[in-house]
């Protein structure tokens, strides 16, 4: 702790005299350089960045040429900003805290350039901890440097050299050098040029720089795996400089030199050889596959290169670079050959097959059904008993697509299957919904007279269902008497609830007799119409038999000068055939 007190005027004068006395004593005990009338360099100290840039004169005598950069440790706010001229130098200088500094150059008052401090006036008693702070704010106001940098200012910047102390986030035109590090077990500044410095026979080293063989066109990072250490054993990999280039797109041998220089000025250098092999890159073909197509597909180049990609050196080639040839192996099989050649002469060839399948798959077991209103018609229900085959092989039922829709009183079921070649088969089934009793197949018919109309005839093609269960055997059939050559057949079916469903069919019997020559005529009023006249030219046959004699003639009364004549013949089965004509009477 510092105790503050108010000085009197006399005390102040005494303090000034005491300070002058001390300075004089110190200067008398240390070597002081004489002032120079000219200064070859300008020193600029970036207090904020703890970095020094040395400038030399340009052709006009102005300090515009950046010459050298140094890492330092300033005292932050304790290092005063401004422009100064160096007034004195000291080979060894006693510093604040009873410590020592080498190669000191005064800037102003108690602010000096000097080495990192020593516990004694002995180069083996350096504070390694403070040395490792170089490049950061660490001093009480002075500007600390490594010995090599402090000595350079001491040796090369005469008294009267201008020093500018400023703040900036830009370290300067040469950047900020990487400060050297050292182990805390040592008391020697590794940059000290004294011959008895134990670091004097230590040098930086480069590791990992070896001769390498590189594939043509590959990416190469010449710094990959390469590292460097300072003479004190710390990493200075970031300081490695590389000269020489490697062109991986030209086969040959290339020399690459690695060099690293540490803050002490010591350096290491290593040259290695990179051998780039000849270009053995080959193109690639991807997306080639065997194809199975149906008969509608055209076998051509467009089909063959669909989805196929050719690449070389990581770049996609134009489809035009792919040569495609077809060889017909059989009636339905083609061998496709793909070939690509690239600029270095290397090539790639691949093959695939295209098989043409013209046979569509087959759906089995699809049929119309009767279902009750309570039946849940789902995909699973619709597929009961349904199978599919393709070219003799059974296909998975999962490949069958089923579309179900309800229309009025039935379900429409559409089955569809597509084989691997794209051939499609579609079938439709009708599931009729039945609630109660239903009779199907009842219809009116016309038959010849030789047909026996009985129950067996009546049930031909007729089915019956009760709640979608076949009940044909429960249908009752009633056949009427023949009236006007017609039978009326009545069908009835009673459901489980006692409801009776009925249906009727009319069976018209067509007699086997044919009457010919019966036509309308005109007769004279002078000639009475008789049966004999009416039968003139009229005949009747039954099969190959002449049954004209069986014709019965009925003549109506004269009405409006017209007679209606009816010809009737009964065939051998008892069915009558009747034909009517008109005789018109005219006056003579």
| Residues with catalytic function | 114, 142
Residue with tokens 């009319």: 506
* Short-list 358, 310, 361, 313, CA closest to 333: 358
CA 100 – CA 187 distance, rounded (Å): 13
Question: Do residues 254 and 247 lie in contact, with contact meaning Cβ atoms separated by under 8 Å?
Answer: yes
Nearest to 478 by CA among 492, 467, 464: 492
Distance CA(278)–CA(344), nearest Å, equals 10
Report yes or no: 301 and 321 within 8 Å, Cβ to Cβ: no
Residues recorded for the chain: 588
Q: What is the largest CA-CA distance in the chain?
A: 191
> What residues have CB less than 8 Å from 493, skipping those under 6 apart?
437, 438, 439, 464, 466, 471, 474, 475, 476, 500, 501, 502
Which of 554, 545, 535 shows the shortest CA–CA distance to 572? 545
**All residues at 6 or more sequence positions from 26 whose CB lies less than 8 Å from its CB, including other chains:** 93, 94
Q: Is the dihedral of CA 478, 479, 481, 484 positive or negative?
A: positive
How far is residue 222 from each of residues 165, 241, 325, 337, 376, measured CA to CA in Å? 40, 11, 46, 43, 75
Closest to 122 in 3D by CA, of 192, 64, 74:
192
Angular region, 313: left φ>0, alpha ψ -120 to 50, beta rest: left
For 506-530, letters b (16+ CB in 10 Å) and e give ebebebbbebeebeebeeeeeeebe
> Dihedral through CA 112, CA 116, CA 122, CA 125, nearest 10?
150
376's CB contacts (< 8 A; 6+ apart) are none
User: What is the residue whose two structure tokens read 């040469």?
Assistant: 174
Structure tokens at 580: 């009517």
- Per-residue burial over 173-197, b = 16 or more CB atoms within 10 Å of its CB, e = otherwise: ebebbbbbbbeeebbbbbbbeeeeb
Give Cα 299 distance to the centre of its chain. 30
In the DSSP assignment, the letter for residue 348 is: E
Burial of 499 (0-12, 13-18, 19+ CB in 10 A): exposed
Between the alpha carbon of residue 584 and those of residues 534, 553, 578, the distances in Å are: 12, 17, 20
Give the helix/strand (H/E) hosting 162: strand 162-166
């Amino acid at each position: 702790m510092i105790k503050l007190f108010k000085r009197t005027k006399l005390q102040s004068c005494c303090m000034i005299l005491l300070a002058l006395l001390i300075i004089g004593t110190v200067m008398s005990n240390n070597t002081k350089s004489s002032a120079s009338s000219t200064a070859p360099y300008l020193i600029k100290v970036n207090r904020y960045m703890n970095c020094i840039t040395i400038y030399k004169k340009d052709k006009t005598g102005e300090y515009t040429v950046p010459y050298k950069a140094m890492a330092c440790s300033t005292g932050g706010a304790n290092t005063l900003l401004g422009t100064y001229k160096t007034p004195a130098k000291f080979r060894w200088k006693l510093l604040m805290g009873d410590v020592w500094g080498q190669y000191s150059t005064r800037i102003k008052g108690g602010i000096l350039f000097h080495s990192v401090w020593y516990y004694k006036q002995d180069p083996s008693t350096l504070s390694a901890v403070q040395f490792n702070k170089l490049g950061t704010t660490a001093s009480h106001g002075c500007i600390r440097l490594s010995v090599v940098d402090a000595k350079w200012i001491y040796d090369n910047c005469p008294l009267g050299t201008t020093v500018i102390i400023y703040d900036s986030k830009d370290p300067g035109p040469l950047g900020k050098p990487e400060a050297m590090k050292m182990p805390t077990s040592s008391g020697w500044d590794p940059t000290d040029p004294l011959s008895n410095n134990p670091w004097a026979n230590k040098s930086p080293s480069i590791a990992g720089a070896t001769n390498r063989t590189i594939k043509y066109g590959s990416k190469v990072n010449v710094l990959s795996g390469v590292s460097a250490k300072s003479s004190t054993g710390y990493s200075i990999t970031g300081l490695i400089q590389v000269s020489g280039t490697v062109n991986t797109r030209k086969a040959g041998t290339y020399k690459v030199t690695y060099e690293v220089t540490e803050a002490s000025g010591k350096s290491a250098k290593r040259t290695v050889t990179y051998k780039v092999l000849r270009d053995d890159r080959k193109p690639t073909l991807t997306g080639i596959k065997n194809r199975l197509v149906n008969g509608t597909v055209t076998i051509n180049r467009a089909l063959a290169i669909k989805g196929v990609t050719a690449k070389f050196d990581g770049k996609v080639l134009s489809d035009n670079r792919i040569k495609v040839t077809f060889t017909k192996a059989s009636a339905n099989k083609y061998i496709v050959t793909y070939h690509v050649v690239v600029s270095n002469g290397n090539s790639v060839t691949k093959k695939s097959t295209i098989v043409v399948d013209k046979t569509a798959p087959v759906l089995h077991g699809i049929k119309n059904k009767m279902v009750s209103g309570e039946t849940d018609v789902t995909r699973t229900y619709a597929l009961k008993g349904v199978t599919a085959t393709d070219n003799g092989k059974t296909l998975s039922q999962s490949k069958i697509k089923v579309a179900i829709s309800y229309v009025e009183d039935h379900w429409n079921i559409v089955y569809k299957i597509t084989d691997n070649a794209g051939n499609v088969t579609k079938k439709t089934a009708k599931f009729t919904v039945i609630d109660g009793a239903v009779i199907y197949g009842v219809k009116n018919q016309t038959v010849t007279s030789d047909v026996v109309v009985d129950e067996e005839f009546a049930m031909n093609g007729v089915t019956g269902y009760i709640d979608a269960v076949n009940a044909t055997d429960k249908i009752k059939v009633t056949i009427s008497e023949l009236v006007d050559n017609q039978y009326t057949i009545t069908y009835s079916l009673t459901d489980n609830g006692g409801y009776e469903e009925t249906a009727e069919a009319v069976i018209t019997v067509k007699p086997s007799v044919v009457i010919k020559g019966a036509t309308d005529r005109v007769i004279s009023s002078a000639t009475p119409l008789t049966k004999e006249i009416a039968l003139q030219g009229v005949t009747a046959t039954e099969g190959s038999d002449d049954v004209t004699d069986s014709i019965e003639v009925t003549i109506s009364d004269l009405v409006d000068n017209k007679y209606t004549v009816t010809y009737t013949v009964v065939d051998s089965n008892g069915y009558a055939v009747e034909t009517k004509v008109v005789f018109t009477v005219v006056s003579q």
